[in-house]
Amino acid sequence: MLAQVHSGLSLSWSLLCFSLYGQDVAEWKTWLTKSYENTRFLDETKVIALALLACESEAATFRI
């Protein structure tokens, strides 16, 4: 179902969740990048910040 999602927020959270469970997220990073190129996430700072976390540090920030 994620392949039908175009929301930067949803894609970012999905990337983080998949990373926490050790899943390969390379394909979804590409989707997230394309989504940003198309919409710039409507200049929503929170979505952009979450996307950066998802792409750069993966889920390490959310590990306990």
Question: How does pLDDT run across 43-58, given as a tens digit for each residue?
Answer: 999 999 999 988 886 5
Judge whether 63 and 24 are in contact, CB under 8 Å: no
37 confidence band (pLDDT: 50, 70, 90)? very high
Domain residue spans of the chain: 2-58
User: Could you tell me the pTM of the whole model?
Assistant: 0.81
Which residues does 39 contact at the CB level (< 8 Å), separation at least 6? 6, 8
